[in-house]
């Protein structure tokens, strides 16, 4: 595969997968604040849309910590969300190596992403495809967590 095409495919898959996770997390946060559609829309538009991915993760973690019985291994979930955010940030803020001196050390179907003063970051097409699978799993898993969190709330209302 052409080097530039590989770079674009990897970057697009990683950033796109992370965006899907962040969008789902934003939607979940709106549900945690209110089940009323009008309030949810206002919260999404006026508050949550302005938050960074990191702040959304920290906010979600606070909700999950309030009801730890809803998910046994929530630290792992938060760790996975942060991993996706970190990979997305590294990909979004780096350029690729266009120098032939680097390419001789690169693995096939792998693109090296660079940022001056930072360690190189390499990703293969296979790794980007796995990253997307992980993102797809995680974006649905957070909805399962929301469902578990809403059960105690429903029980307390009655």
Q: What is the pLDDT of residues 23-49, one digit of tens each?
A: 999 999 998 888 888 999 999 989 999
Q: What is the pLDDT of residue 156?
A: 46
This prediction has a pTM of 0.82
> Which residues lie closer than 8 Å to 30 by C-beta, 6 or more apart?
40, 41, 43, 44, 48
* Mean pLDDT of the region 51-77: 85
pLDDT of residue 158: 41
Query: pLDDT above 90 covers what percent of the chain?
Result: 35
Q: Residue 95 is encoded by which pair of tokens?
A: 């350029």
Q: Torsion over CA of 97, 102, 103 and 109, rounded to 10 degrees?
A: -60
How many domains would you assign to the chain?
Answer: 1
CB 96 within 8 A of CB 74: no
Burial class for 27, CB neighbours closer than 10 Å (0-12, 13-18, 19+): middle
Domain that includes residue 128, residue range: 3-157
**How many C-beta atoms surround the C-beta of residue 36 within 10 A?**
10
| Mean pLDDT for the chain overall | 81
Residue 69 clears pLDDT 90, i.e. is over it: no
Write the pLDDT tens digit of every residue in 114-131.
777 777 788 888 889 999
């Amino acid at each position: 595969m052409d080097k530039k095409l590989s770079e674009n495919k990897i970057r697009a898959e990683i950033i796109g997968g992370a965006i899907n996770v962040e969008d789902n997390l934003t939607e979940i946060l709106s549900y945690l604040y209110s089940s009323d559609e009008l309030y949810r829309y206002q919260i999404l538009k006026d508050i949550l849309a302005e938050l960074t991915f990191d702040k959304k993760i920290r906010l979600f973690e606070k909700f999950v910590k309030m009801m730890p019985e809803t998910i046994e291994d929530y630290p792992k979930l938060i760790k996975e969300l942060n991993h996706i955010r970190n990979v997305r940030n590294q990909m979004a803020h780096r350029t690729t190596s266009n120098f032939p001196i680097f390419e001789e050390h690169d693995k096939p179907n792998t693109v090296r992403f660079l940022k001056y003063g930072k360690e190189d970051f390499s990703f293969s097409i296979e790794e980007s495809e796995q990253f997307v699978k992980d993102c797809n799993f995680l974006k649905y898993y957070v909805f399962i967590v929301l469902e578990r969190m809403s059960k105690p709330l429903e029980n307390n209302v009655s």
